[in-house]
Structure 1
């Protein structure tokens, strides 16, 4: 079988972190010092600690959000600390006990529940989704539970669907509305098993499957089967946005351009879990990391299943396993996952060959925790790694060719024959009507639900583009007007619309 590796599994170490000498790092210790509770800060080599602090230096001050960092060796938390503010209103620092939303890092917990039910014989990975969710669409080639786990189902991403239906980032909608949106779809993005395409809908559905098979909510199942046995008393699937969570970090995003420096609160009112929703801390993460190595809950069969990679119809193996991705970093094998939702970012990576793991939980939308833990891993494991790839200096870049200066066909606001496109188009799958209105001298603007109007750009004859990565393809030209269009938007493909009378 051919092994397909995802490109850029680990970002290269930043020049700043990669070129620090031990002397400079030690001198910078006071300037880069962490802000949080240092109760579990390691008492190791001060040079190592200084170099780690330097990696997080940009997020160390209490005037902005930051991260909590954990370094684990052989199942033991050997270094944990915090950087930046958990709450800017009150100047509360991040620390090892601070609770963060971890975004898609949550997927491994959902997959863990699926794996546990599977080895108990209560769930069949190769059964069609419709066996467990009866109202799921009856596709000619039905996706299975295994397809959902490995993101090879072709099920359209619900987050994109809800946005395409006209919902803004700040709008509220319910779990039932999400399930209804998924069940309205009449096509998949592709034949199940043919491709890998990340889908939050798949893991939302897996959470629903766990609930229907076990008779318990995903939150309750994870609490009973994992968190209580592992002593993770503050970790939970957060399925009620009104719930008070002590020691929670607030999520932030930089203010929009033109609004000055600083940050705005960036949290969610949505209660979906399965694809996300885990709240946890660095201090509690160590118990989960140990379970991923030892199988305290689940045993050897569960461990093997959790690390089993997906296989495409072609026979090619993909890096994605059960909510975790196999990869590599400078010659060392890794297993990890990142997370991103509203103002929270998270990253975890295990290095099984060395017994090390690294986790960074952050509360700023501008932070890249996977890059930070990659740099931290290089501090601890550089003697075991292959040499870092050399990159060309800025002044050694290739000279631009004449082709770089040649005119390029780029989307533009002037749309020839715009009357062909103008009008209303309805999608039963979205239960939404798009209005394409002529505005300005030769432009078109898309109006959809509560979204801000989106100017459309001409790509080619019959093809327009819009915001959020949308591509609109028109067909069935009759009496000078297109009667149909399809919309592609990243994790949603071939969404069909038909012209309707206004």
Structure 2
């Protein structure tokens, strides 16, 4: 029996509110798609396959891919010290490695906490250079690098800066040239301080009482967030992850290996693992890599049951999305097409 968004998220979203779109991609074919709600409530524009959403933290997997590409080319090594490329943090983060950045075990404080401390929650237009400036003013790491897992957006901002300093390209242009254009993601970009015009763009909303409030942008930091993409483009991304257009299979294997601490133990053993912008965990009795994102009125999730070549991608422009409902919907889709 087929399930649909209007039935599963009853009384939460309608064709007159913000909403979401979802696809299931099975062996390169979209076997399920459904949309509900508006990409732009002011102009009554409905969500469709080409609507462009802010992916929030789902963006991290693109930074992870870029790092793997540079590793494959020999331009970067996981054992490299971060300060080889970002000497500004030498005074307290001299032992942090690339490996620890990609696996969230560096000890760098999340820059969002620093912005909160500066009482700037209503104007978080922080570029990567500003994030670096905030981190530069710190004197200590939060813990010994490699000793534990602690999810920090600062790690992936530093990775974006490293990519820029190695390649001489902006992070936005690097992803366009070496990832998006290679696999035909023509409606995908990085929203940074250039604040580019984005066709078919959705806006993020949050419901307060009976009223919807529109968000714009919380931050302009990249690497950790601010890839804008659509369901149709993310289907191309998912397809490409089964091939070798972007990196070789042996390089790609790092994505599926959970990060280890300095003693060789899995950093996040209690629930799975983390590697290069992907969470690693069994779902529905199958191996998956997945990630969620939430920012500025947007919620996103991609779950790849990669051994089954089955993936579900859900993009939402409402901050009120209930994650447990989203997970349940995805599990129902998996069972519908795989059992």
TM band (smaller chain): over 0.9
Rounded Cα–Cα distance in structure 1 between residues aligned with 2:211 and 2:16: 8
Kindly indicate whether residue 288 of structure 2 is the aligned counterpart of residue 339 of structure 1. no
CA contact (8 A) 1:147 1:153 kept: yes
CA contact (8 A) 1:230 1:288 kept: yes
**Match for residue 295 of structure 1 among 231, 239, 244:** 244
Listed as ranges, the matches of 1:401-420 within 5 Å are: none
Rounded Cα–Cα distance in structure 2 between residues aligned with 1:360 and 1:196: 26
Kindly indicate whether residue 329 of structure 2 is the aligned counterpart of residue 375 of structure 1. yes
Rounded Cα–Cα distance in structure 2 between residues aligned with 1:105 and 1:368: 17
Quote how far apart the aligned CAs of 1:331 are. 1.3
Quote how far apart the aligned CAs of 1:112 are. 0.5
Residue by residue over 1:201-224, the C-alpha shift from the partner in whole angstroms, topping out at 9 and shown as x without a partner, is 000000000000011111111111
Q: Give the match for residue 234 of structure 1.
A: 187
Query: SS at the partner of 1:350?
Result: strand
Rounded Cα–Cα distance in structure 1 between residues aligned with 2:53 and 2:107: 30
Query: SS at the partner of 1:159?
Result: helix
Quote how far apart the aligned CAs of 1:171 are. 4.3
Quote how far apart the aligned CAs of 1:330 are. 2.8
Rounded Cα–Cα distance in structure 1 between residues aligned with 2:137 and 2:109: 11
CA contact (8 A) 2:93 2:141 kept: no
Q: Give the match for residue 328 of structure 1.
A: 282
Residue by residue over 1:382-441, the C-alpha shift from the partner in whole angstroms, topping out at 9 and shown as x without a partner, is 6857xxxxxxxxxxxxxxxxxxxxxxxxxxxxxxxxxxxxxxxxxxxxxxxxxxxxxxxx
> Relative contact order, CA 8 A, sep 6+: which one is greater?
2
Quote how far apart the aligned CAs of 1:125 are. 1.2
Structure 1 stretch displaced more, 268-277 or 213-222: 268-277
**Match for residue 317 of structure 2 among 353, 357, 363:** 363
TM-score (norm 1): 0.63
Q: Give the match for residue 263 of structure 1.
A: 212
Rounded Cα–Cα distance in structure 1 between residues aligned with 2:322 and 2:244: 29
**Structure whose CA Rg is larger:** 1
Kindly indicate whether residue 153 of structure 2 is the aligned counterpart of residue 200 of structure 1. yes
Kindly indicate whether residue 133 of structure 2 is the aligned counterpart of residue 184 of structure 1. no
CA contact (8 A) 1:343 1:363 kept: yes
Query: SS at the partner of 1:294?
Result: coil
In structure 2, relative to structure 1, the CA distance for the partners of 1:336 and 1:174 (3 Å cut) is closer
Q: CA RMSD in A?
A: 1.9
Q: Give the match for residue 46 of structure 2.
A: 93
Rounded Cα–Cα distance in structure 2 between residues aligned with 1:53 and 1:299: 41
Listed as ranges, the matches of 1:139-178 within 5 Å are: 139=92, 142-178=95-131
TM-score (norm 2): 0.93
Rounded Cα–Cα distance in structure 1 between residues aligned with 2:338 and 2:29: 20
Q: Give the match for residue 61 of structure 1.
A: 14
Structure 1 stretch displaced more, 291-300 or 214-223: 291-300
CA contact (8 A) 1:80 1:282 kept: no
Q: Greater share of helix residues, 1 or 2?
A: 2
Rounded Cα–Cα distance in structure 2 between residues aligned with 1:140 and 1:230: 36
In structure 2, relative to structure 1, the CA distance for the partners of 1:303 and 1:188 (3 Å cut) is same
Rounded Cα–Cα distance in structure 1 between residues aligned with 2:105 and 2:179: 27
Residue by residue over 1:448-498, the C-alpha shift from the partner in whole angstroms, topping out at 9 and shown as x without a partner, is xxxxxxxxxxxxxxxxxxxxxxxxxxxxxxxxxxxxxxxxxxxxxxxxxxx
Quote how far apart the aligned CAs of 1:278 are. 0.5
Rounded Cα–Cα distance in structure 2 between residues aligned with 1:348 and 1:58: 24
Query: SS at the partner of 2:312?
Result: strand
Query: SS at the partner of 1:121?
Result: coil
CA contact (8 A) 1:346 1:369 kept: no
Residue by residue over 1:19-44, the C-alpha shift from the partner in whole angstroms, topping out at 9 and shown as x without a partner, is xxxxxxxxxxxxxxxxxxxxxxxxxx
In structure 2, relative to structure 1, the CA distance for the partners of 1:132 and 1:371 (3 Å cut) is farther
What number of residue pairs does the alignment pair up?
334
Q: Give the match for residue 348 of structure 1.
A: 302
Structure 1 stretch displaced more, 68-77 or 300-309: 300-309
Stretches of structure 1 that go unaligned for 5 or more consecutive residues are 1-46, 386-502
Rounded Cα–Cα distance in structure 2 between residues aligned with 1:135 and 1:376: 43
Kindly indicate whether residue 256 of structure 2 is the aligned counterpart of residue 307 of structure 1. yes
In structure 2, relative to structure 1, the CA distance for the partners of 1:195 and 1:147 (3 Å cut) is same
Query: SS at the partner of 1:263?
Result: strand
